[in-house]
Structures are given as C-alpha cells and as structure tokens.
A and B are shown apart, each in its own frame.
Chain A
Amino acid sequence: MTLREIKELLKAEVIYGEEHLDIEIEFAGGSDMMSDVLAFGQPGLLLLTGLSNSQSVRTADIIEAKAIIYVRGKRPDDVGINLAKEKELPLLSTQYMMYSACGILYSKGLPGVPRP
C-alpha cells in the first residue's frame, strides 16, 4: 500500500513529505512509548503515534521507519518537523484516534510488524 493510499484512508493531512507519498508501506505499528518502538520496530515501519515531540521523529529515524502518522490530530513541534525534513521522513496527521487509525489500515490489508 502506498503512503498516498494511507493518507486517503485516514483522511490525513501531510505535514511534511508531499513528494514522498508514493513510497510503498508494507507494515505498521502503533505506540506512544518510544522504548516500545525501539524494541519492536523494524526497518520500513510505518509508525502511528500520539507522541508529538521531536523524540518521535528521532526514534523513527533510529529504527529506519518509513513515515510517521500522528493520531488524534496531533502535530510535532518545529524541532521534529525540521529533523524530519533533514532525514526526508514523511509526517502525516490524522484526526482518527489510535485504535481506529490502526483498525482502518489493518482492515485494508496492511499488517503489523513481522515477527522476528
């Protein structure tokens, strides 16, 4: 599924990365705890999170995530947005809450993180 399709399914707004919407996303995971993301994340992850400070972007970069979707209409701070631009990591924001956003993507065939 492309990030563009995900954007449409979640009626998401693009905060950064309009030019990267055609990347292919193969799996996703959701958490507000960055240590959990560091523990379960795998390269290529689409991260759904409600944590909107710059640590969300830094964590995504460290685990080589492909993009971040902020749930509940959250948006990262400027530090986060600038870091995402530097790392070319697309950031989107959806009004859906975590459970609904994950459920919509899962029901359309986007699986969770593959078991190691």
Chain B
Amino acid sequence: MASSDLELSERFEISGSDFSKAGTISTKIKGILQEIGIESSVIRRAAIASYEAEMNVVMYAKRGTLILNITPEKLHLKLEDNGPGINDIEKAMQEGFSTATDKMREMGFGAGMGLPNIKRNADRFEITSEPGKGTSLNIIFCLNRA
C-alpha cells in the first residue's frame, strides 16, 4: 500500500453473475481511498462510479477487471469486461434506457441509471464497446493534491 505521496496501482478481478459478492470490490476501493487520505467528496463520487461499473460487469459479463490507478494528479478507474458489448452507446447513456433482466431488477439495479450515474460523478468518462467482445470504461477524477 502506498502512502499519500506515492503512486498506487491495484488490479481487481470481477466475477460475472456472482451477485453475492457484487459490490465488494468497490467497498474495498473506498477503504483504500480513505486510508490514503483522498478528499472525501472525491471518494464518494469514485465509490458510486466504481459500484455502478462493478454492478454492470456482474450483471452483463462473465468476468471483468477493474484497475485502480492513483497519481498525485488523478484517480483513474479502468474497467474491462468480456460481456456482450453495447450496440448503441448513445442510447445506453440515456437515463432510463435499460436492457436489464428481472433478476437484475430484483437486485435493485437495471433502471437505466448506471452509465449516466458514472458519467455524472466522474470528471472525465470514456466508454468504448464492441458488440460480442466487451466494454471498456475509463473513469477519471482530478485530485487537488500538492
């Protein structure tokens, strides 16, 4: 674990369809950010974005990875999954648009808010997707750290 003036990089594996563990990585990341003294408003935004992104991987993909990268300037969450991909990203970014199943809705997700929530909380957000191959997200938060 790095101290607050060092760079930090950690990689997490996300298991698709494992609803019992869904969210544990984001809880872990939140703990790491608190431990190294990231500003609380950034922690909150990053935790929400990470949680939504992790849930998307759990719900749609067989597996995925989440890489947390912290430099003095920014906090970067990079997610990659081998899910079905997104046909129309513009549509998927609209609030309320959802392809969720009943099982996903039972978990309290699938309201078509996930990607818009991630974008709203991030300082920079990039999404690329290839149908049949998977989706990748870059979620970036600026850090005002000396």
A residues apposed to B, CB below 8 Å = 32-39, 43, 49, 51, 53-56, 58-59, 61-64, 79
Contact = CB atoms under 8 A, between A and B. Distances in A.
Contact of B109 (A54, A55, A61, A79): A55
Given A43-B44, A63-B44, A36 B111 contact: yes
Nearest to A34: B108
Contacts of A43: 44
B61 interface: no
B17 to A, nearest CB: 14
Interface in B75-118: 106-114, 116-117
Contacts of A79: 20
B48 A55 contact: no
B51 A51 contact: no
Nearest to B118: A38
Nearest to A64: B44
Could you tell me the dominant secondary structure of chain A's interface residues? helix
A33 B108 CA distance: 5
A34 B109 contact: yes
Interface of B: 19-20, 22-23, 26-27, 30, 44, 47-48, 51-52, 106-114, 116-117, 120
B52 A35 contact: yes
Given A33-B111, A35-B52, A38-B117, A54 B20 contact: yes
B96 to A, nearest CB: 10
Contacts of A61: 27, 30
B48 A53 contact: no
Contact of B48 (A49, A56, A62): A62
A75 B121 CA distance: 30
Given A59-B51, A62-B51, A35 B44 contact: no
A55 B30 CA distance: 16
Nearest to A83: B27
Contacts of A33: 108-109, 111, 113
Contacts of B113: 33, 35-36, 38-39
A63 B46 CA distance: 10
Nearest to B110: A35
